[in-house]
Structure 1
Amino acid sequence: MCPTSVDPRAIRTRYRLRGALLDLLRTRSWDEVTVSEVVAHARCSRSTFYLHYEDLDALLADAFLGAAEVVPATGEGHCLGFVPGLFDHLAQHRVLAEPYLLLGRGGPMVAAFRQQIDTHIRGRLEVTAPNLTEPHREELAAALGGAVWAALMWWLEHGRDVPPADAAATLLALLSPGLGRLTHD
Structure 2
Amino acid sequence: MDASVLLWKQWHKQVKDLFGPMHGPQKKTLAFFVIGIVLSGTAVLQRMAERLSEHGISTANMPSIERRLARFIANDRIEVHETWKQFVAHILPFWSEKKLRFVLDMTPFNDDATIVYVGLLVHSRLLPVAWSTMPAKTKWQEGQWSIVERLLDVIIPHLGKAECTLIRAI
Normalised by the shorter chain, which TM-score bucket? 0.3 to 0.5
1 or 2, which has the higher helix percentage? 1
Taking CA–CA contacts closer than 8 Å with sequence separation of 6 or more, which of the two structures ends up with the larger relative contact order? 1
TM-score (norm 2): 0.35
TM-score (norm 1): 0.33
1 or 2, which has the higher strand percentage? 2
